[in-house]
Structure 1
Amino acid sequence: MEYENDTLDDYSSSSERYRTRHVNIRTLRVEPQFNFDETYITIFSERRIYDPDGDIHYDPIKPRRTSTQVEMFDAFRYYLDEGKSSLRNFCRSYGLTVPYLHGLIFCLTGMDATDYRLSWQMKRADELLRYTNLSIPEVARMSGVGTPPNLFYAYQRDYDCSPSERRRAIRQPNDVGRFR
């Protein structure tokens, strides 16, 4: 059995690739416990595999959701994985304040909760643009950005291009269908 590609993200290995906007420029005096790429949960659950005889089948991506052993951080990651994006609603459901969540996420990742959420949404949108033929409105909805104008604004802000231009820039031959 041969895996076509072991990683979803061979075009970038740094969370900085996803976020160029820094509102609160703070730095930790220690290395963050987690980097963004370690904590991101892909939307895909299966990877395409070619057998030696040329047959194609899909194997599960394991483990899709791994625990960081920080319960509140995992709850936030799973919340984002469900396509939800409201920091206020997340905090309300756990009895937190938004500034407290910002501090927690910052201590763990070196990014505040807003930047972490925006990085999550952009990476999710990049995955959907690269590996699927979903329409731009579907990508906007599934990435947690919401609407096509929001997605367009986010891509203009982070990459200085439209979502369609980004799709053309990151898609490689045979990418569509590589994951599902």
Structure 2
Amino acid sequence: MSALTVAVIATAGFSPFHFSVPCIIFGQSMPQPDLFCVEICAENPGVVMSDMGLSINVEHGLELLDTADIIIVPYWNHPEEKPSQALLDGLIKAWQRGAEVVGLCLGAYVLAYSGLLDGHRAATHWEYEQDFIERFPAVHLDSNSLYTSDERLITSAGTAAGIDCCLNIIRDHYGSAIANRVARRMVVPPYREGGQAQFIERPVPVSTRDSKMNELIEYLRRNLDKPHDLDSLAGFVSMSRRTLTRHFFRATGTTLGDWLNAERLQRSQELLETTNISIERVSEMVGFQSPVSFRQSFKARFSVSPSEWRRAFRGPAPVDVDVK
């Protein structure tokens, strides 16, 4: 079996890290040299400058897209900038003849601009989720996955997720054993649990314009460990259940139950990252009825367990306390 040709597209202002990921993974990190052949191409061959002042000398033009087995757009600088028609046409023709077309991080925008992703699943950096959805409503954006693969259209989430994506391409072509060997050489996990949800910042509103709701929010934050129901909270703010529900949604943009669950999970993240408190005690402190319900809610929101979160995000010297 001949080596698969991987064409990595260099664009003006490219990110050296993003660009190096496929070059390293499919190149020098491979356990044997006859599996992939990495070639670099650009719309305008010659010197291409990165966003950091580094430059590379590119020999091949976009004609490489006519024969490559795997074509990778490792990055794109500006989501609002539509790629040239020559690049878009080259990607379309390549996919139509059977090549795999890959967009890492914001490279997914290039595939989306081409129309190839219409009706398909895709991923991109979580910070651009809303922008991507608004620009490309025909694309099924998967906001959680680290990478997606749908009919030879492959996309990844931001930055390091490109490594996960490229390892998965190796896994698809040559199996887990080869992918695992590459991961070991790079000193990275061959497969990461969970998805982007564990990295997305979704802060719970600190305050609102409604003083009554601010008073309620402060009370709830001081008493996360206690059970709460709509009747008692309505009494706390001297409102009917219906009025409280309406005012709270207007002030926060979410329901009281969803807000409370998000606040409890956010507090649990802090405790998992900064203390040695047991999972069971964390569950109790943030107000879940049982450790089982806590684990289920945590996994549903972040796609990883509380223990996995702690291993991933806890600092080197967590505080050994039991907050009351």
Does the alignment reach a TM-score above 0.5?
Answer: yes
Q: How do residues 163-174 of structure 1 correspond to structure 2 at under 5 angstroms? A: 163-174=306-317
State the partner residue of 1:38: 206
- Unpaired runs of at least 5, structure 1: 1-10, 16-35, 40-67
2:239 partner letter: L
| Equivalent runs, 1:23-172 vs 2, <5 Å | 36-39=204-207, 70-81=210-221, 82-83=223-224, 84-88=226-230, 89-172=232-315
When residues 161 and 91 of structure 1 are mapped into structure 2, their CA distance, relative to the original with a 3 A threshold, is: same
Tell me which residue corresponds to 1:14.
202
1:110 to 1:153, Cα distance in 2 relative to 1, 3 A: same
Question: Per-residue displacement from partner, 1:67-94 (whole Å, max 9, x unpaired)?
Answer: x673321232123222234132212343
Contact 1:152 1:162 in 2 (8 A): yes
Structure 1 Cα separation of the partners of residues 248 and 227 of structure 2: 15
C-alpha distance after superposition, 1:81-110 (max 9, x if no partner): 222341322123434333322221221121
Letter in 2 for 1:148: P
Give the total of aligned pairs: 121
RMSD of Structure 2 on Structure 1 (CA): 2.7
Measured in 1, the distance between the counterparts of 2:228 and 2:262 equals 14
Contact 2:209–2:251 (CA<8 Å) still a contact in 1?
no
Letter of the 1:87 counterpart: D
Q: 2-side partners of 1:160 and 1:13: how far apart? A: 15
Asked whether the 8 Å contact 1:79–1:90 carries over to 2, the reply is: no
**Residue type of the alignment partner of 1:77:** I
Residues 164 and 99 of structure 1: CA distance in aligned 2, closer, same or farther (over 3 Å): farther
Once residues 253 and 209 of structure 2 are traced to their aligned partners in structure 1, the CA distance between those partners, rounded to angstroms, is 18
Instruction: With the length of structure 2 as denominator, give the TM-score of the two structures.
Output: 0.33
Distance across 1 between alignment mates of 2:308 and 2:319? 20
Structure 2: how far apart are the matches of 1:99 and 1:156? 31
> Within 1, Cα distance between the matches of 2:275 and 2:320?
9
Deviation at 1:170, TM superposition (A): 2.2
How far apart are 1:178 and its partner, in Å? Answer: 10
Larger Rg: 2
CA distance in 2, matches of 1:38, 1:133: 26
Q: Per the alignment, do residues 154 and 128 of structure 1 end up closer, same or farther by CA in structure 2, a change over 3 Å counting?
A: same
Deviations 1:133-171 (A, max 9, x none): 111121111112232111111112112222111211222
* Contact 1:137-1:148 at 8 Å conserved across structures: yes
Q: Which shows bigger deviation, 162-171 or 114-123? A: 162-171
Instruction: Write the distance in 2 (CA, Å) between the matches of 1:160 and 1:14.
Output: 15
- Give, as a single letter, the amino acid of the residue that structure 2 aligns with 1:164: S
- The one-letter code of the counterpart of 1:127 is E
Change in 2 beyond 3 A, CA 1:165/1:117: same
Give the structure with the larger strand fraction. 2
- TM-score normalised according to structure 1 size: 0.57
The whole-number CA distance in structure 2 between the counterparts of 1:96 and 1:144 is: 24
What SS class does the counterpart of residue 111 from structure 1 fall into?
coil
